[in-house]
């Protein structure tokens, strides 16, 4: 068996390109249907790591498609992706990243570095540029990861623009139609209120995140919010130095009450 060229060793995306395969190749037309959109997502640092959250509503125009979408995706044991935009494109990006990270781990016998993971997502967004420029298949994600090669192992948050530029967030990042409301409340809490998000315990951070979504849903019809009376909660995942934890609906209900 011949070995892979050195230029693509461990690089799943380069392997696809070498075989003229594009995971995001889509041909748009002027008669494209109304797209399903997924909103709203955000992430912030709390005392023990990063909390990444998303409501569960997807819309198509003024139609609510579903209130059962999971917008926070575990890519591997040390990274999370939150999607805002077109779910079909975003979920495909997530699957490609999951395969890419695992391919590198198995072929190189080590995990991909955090900077390389950040660039891998940026590359997928850049490859999606033709669709983005046509206003079709736009994805504006958030990414959280742990750089296991640097001590201490502290989770980091990154946000992107639709063209693939990436930026590291100091305290928090938001995306989606309800993001402006959530960003405003996060900014106020960080500057003037107590406790600051970075000082919150996990129960406090979960309660705060749920209240953020409830507030955003009052001003944005595309944000599903949280409705405890009908057991409609959010997708919440916690990224710590030692891995990922999913916050269940039962935990959310308990901590929302305080």
Q: Where are the domains of the chain?
A: 35-251
Helix/strand/coil percentages in the chain, nearest 5? 40, 25, 35
Place of tokens 């040390």: 78
Q: For the whole model, what pTM was predicted?
A: 0.87
Would you state the pLDDT for residue 37?
72
According to the 3-state scheme, what is the secondary structure of 206-226? Answer: HHHHHHHHHHHHHHCCCCCCC
Q: What is the pLDDT along the chain (258 residues), one digit of tens a residue?
A: 444 444 456 787 777 777 777 665 555 455 555 556 768 999 999 999 999 999 999 998 889 899 999 999 999 999 999 999 999 999 999 999 999 999 999 999 999 999 999 999 999 999 998 888 887 889 999 999 998 877 888 999 999 999 899 999 999 999 999 999 999 999 999 999 999 999 999 999 999 999 999 999 999 989 998 999 988 999 999 999 999 999 999 999 999 997
What pLDDT is attached to residue 96?
Answer: 96
Match 């999370």 to its residue by tokens.
Answer: 80
Q: Which of 117, 158, 164, 157 is nearest to 138 (CA)?
A: 164
pLDDT score recorded for residue 54: 97
Residues taking part in catalysis: 39
| CATH, range 35-251 | 3.60.20.10
* CA–CA distances in Å: residue 41 to residues 83, 106, 149, 163, 212: 7, 31, 28, 19, 10
């Amino acid at each position: 068996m011949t070995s892979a060229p050195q230029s693509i060793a461990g690089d799943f995306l380069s392997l696809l390109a070498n075989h003229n395969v594009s995971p995001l190749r889509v041909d748009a037309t002027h008669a494209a249907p109304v797209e399903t959109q997924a909103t709203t997502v955000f992430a912030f640092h709390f005392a023990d790591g990063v909390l990444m959250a998303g409501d569960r509503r997807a819309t198509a125009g003024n139609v609510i498609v579903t209130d059962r979408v999971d917008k926070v995706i575990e890519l591997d044991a040390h990274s999370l992706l939150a999607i805002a935009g077109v779910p079909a494109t975003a979920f495909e990006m997530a699957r490609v990243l999951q395969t890419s990270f695992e391919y590198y781990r198995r072929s190189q016998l080590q995990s991909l570095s955090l900077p390389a993971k950040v660039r891998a997502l940026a590359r997928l967004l850049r490859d999606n540029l033709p669709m983005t420029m046509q206003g079709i298949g736009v994805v504006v994600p958030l990414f959280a990861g742990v750089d296991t090669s640097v001590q201490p192992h502290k989770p980091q948050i990154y946000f992107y623009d639709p063209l693939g530029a990436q930026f590291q967030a100091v305290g928090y990042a938001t995306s989606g139609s309800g993001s402006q409301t959530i960003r405003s409340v996060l900014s106020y809490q960080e500057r003037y209120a107590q406790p600051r998000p970075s000082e919150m315990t996990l129960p406090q951070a979960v309660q705060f995140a749920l209240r953020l979504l409830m507030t955003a849903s009052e001003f944005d019809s595309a944000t599903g919010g949280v409705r405890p009376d009908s057991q409609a909660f959010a997708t919440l995942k916690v990224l710590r130095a030692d891995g990922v934890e999913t916050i269940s609906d039962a935990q959310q209900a308990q901590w929302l009450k305080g």
